[in-house]
Amino acid sequence: MNKTYSEFLEIASDAARAAGKVMRDGWGKTHAIHFKGAINLVTEVDRAAEKIILEHLRAATPDFDILTEESGAHGGGATYRWVVDPLDGTTNYAHHFPYFTTSIGLEENGASIVGVVYDPLLEQLFSATRGGGALLNDVPIRCGDAQTLGESVVATGLVYDVWESARGIPEIVRLFQHARSVRINGSAALDFCYVACGRLDAYCDTGLSPWDISAARLILTEAGGMFQLYGDASDFEQLYCIASNGKIHRELEELLVKF
Domain ranges in the chain? Answer: 5-140, 149-256
Correct CATH for 149-256 of 3.40.190.80, 3.30.70.100, 1.10.10.10, 3.30.420.40: 3.40.190.80
The pLDDT mean for the chain works out to: 91
CATH class of 5-140: alpha beta
Backbone φ, ψ for residue 184 (5° rounding) = -120, 100
Contacts of 232 (CB under 8 A, 6+ apart): none
Please give the pLDDT value at position 42: 65
Please, are residues 259 and 173 in contact by the beta-carbon 8 Å criterion?
no
Please give the pLDDT value at position 124: 98
Please give the pLDDT value at position 167: 80
* Averaged pLDDT for residues 57-80: 90
Alpha helices in 4-85 (DSSP H): 5-26, 44-60
Does 38 score more than 50 pLDDT? no
- Which one, of 210, 221, 226, 29, lies nearest residue 103 by Cα? 210
Distances (CA, A) of 9 to 17, 104, 107, 135, 152: 12, 10, 12, 12, 31
Q: Which of 64-78, 134-148, 182-196 has the lowest mean pLDDT?
A: 64-78
pLDDT in tens, 180-235: 999 999 999 999 999 999 999 999 999 899 999 999 999 999 999 999 999 887 77
32 pLDDT band, cuts 50/70/90, is low
